Amino acid sequence: MSTLTIAAVQYDIHWLDQQANFNRLEQLFADHFRENFAADLLLLPETFSTGFCINKKGVEEAEDGGIALAWLKKMAKQYNCVVAGSVLVSQNDKKVNRFYWVCANGTVEHYDKRHLFRLGKEQDHVAQGQNRKIITINGINILPLVCYDLRFPVWSRNRQDYDLMVNVANWPAARRHVWDTLLKARAMENQTWVVGVNRIGEDGRNTSHSGGTTIIDFSGKTIISAVDNQQQIITTQLDFSKLEKFKHDFPAFLDADEFELQ
């Protein structure tokens, strides 16, 4: 198995101001990477261009592409890597919370958020995603998840079809301990690397976010984390031969229960 270099971006999202977010991110990229950019995958939080403004009209992207997707393509080409983050996209009379994965050559894949946050009435404005997705980069299979998906282990159960789980979020500070706990639980139960990418700051609904952007290994050990309440990009290289050896020495996955999603 090969290696994959991950860069995860934790920042304070401007509410309903796409251009301000693009400007802020471009400055963060420039400050962090300077002339030494070396990442295969650059990850942004959930609804990175607008904030979690699910009940606002006119903020969603067109389904065949919009401003945020064009910007992702620009960044992917500029930094010669996959750039990924979620945006709200128009679909029929609702939106979908779409996690875009954009390659340097302009190729686009996506995953639509499956589990909608009932407490925030997300289901009233956002259509439920129907398909579990595996995305492959440099031979590494990746399971993309968005925020609330983290609470549902059946959806993220490793069928030995992925090596890395990525969750991008607007996870509130009030439930931060749940975020920290479940990221480690998902890593251990699925014997996989896990990357969690969360925002900081207060959104337009006065909800506070403290971050918790982190990279965790298959044993539940934290490899690197961003500083709470601070804009930061964390970067590390994952060596998937270590995962392969771990699973060879401790093949708990062979004793997993069979199941089917309905």
Element (H, E) at 5: strand 3-10
Write the burial class of residue 222 (CB in 10 Å: 0-12 exposed, 13-18 middle, 19+ buried). middle
46, 60, 61, 122: which is the annotated catalytic residue?
46
203-to-170, 172, 190, 213, 247 alpha-carbon distances in Å: 9, 10, 32, 17, 41
Q: How far apart are CA 209 and CA 179, in angstroms?
A: 11
Annotated active-site residue 46? The verdict is: yes
Q: How far apart are CA 62 and CA 34, in angstroms?
A: 33
53, 81, 147, 184: which is the annotated catalytic residue?
147
61, 113, 122, 184: which is the annotated catalytic residue?
113
Annotated active-site residue 53? The verdict is: no
Annotated active-site residue 113? The verdict is: yes
Backbone angles phi, psi at 246, to 5 degrees: -60, -45
Query: Which ranges of 134-250 would DSSP assign to H, the alpha helix?
Result: 153-156, 176-190, 240-249
249-to-13, 141, 165, 258 alpha-carbon distances in Å: 42, 21, 21, 22
Amino acid at 238: L
Task: Count each helix (H run) and each strand (E run) in the chain, helices first.
Answer: 5, 14
Residue showing tokens 């983050």: 85
Catalytic center residues = 46, 113, 147
